[in-house]
Amino acid sequence: VVAKASLAELTVEDYERTIRINQIGTFLGMRTMAEPMKAGGGGSIVNISSIRGLVGRAGLLAYTATKFAVRGMTKVAALELGEFGIRVNSIHPGAVATRLIGSATPEQVDPNFAHQPIGRIARPAEIAKLAVFLASDDSSYSTGSEFVADGGISAGDPA
């Protein structure tokens, strides 16, 4: 969930709601799966964070805080669960053509994304394929890592 408001305008209720969904939801998912995965001999947890878990954006204080938290929780879980054969990684997508973005499609030229190296938003399948890779044994030596799929926006400002 995204609560768009400046620091001065963000309500405690909106901040707490964002934390409950984005941060506590991730925590509960990992906690729920840890014991069954240990009993099963291992596996892979893939947390979905955001590019906002790496860089902030004005007006997205609560969202950014939760996505940084997901990044940190992923690292701690990787440290705690690695000995049980459980890998834990996070994906940090940029904008993706979902209901959160609205009616935008990857093919539309959106001026908000024209400045990034890949000047469009992601297709959901592009992020899903990265998640499948991280869930598979093909990524067997990756844990505690951030995988960025943001069209190059975190590479820097090309101007």
What does the alpha-carbon distance between residue 48 and residue 45 come to, in Å, rounded to a whole number?
10
- Identify the active-site residue in 63, 68, 113, 147: 63
What does the alpha-carbon distance between residue 78 and residue 66 come to, in Å, rounded to a whole number?
18
- Paired residues of 152 in beta bridges: none
141 is known as an active-site residue: no
What does the alpha-carbon distance between residue 28 and residue 16 come to, in Å, rounded to a whole number?
16
What does the alpha-carbon distance between residue 100 and residue 113 come to, in Å, rounded to a whole number?
16
What is the secondary structure of 121-149 as a DSSP string? PBPHHHHHHHHHHHHSGGGTT--S-EEEE
- Paired residues of 159 in beta bridges: none
Cβ atoms 45, 33 nearer than 8 A: yes
Catalytic positions, written as ranges: 63
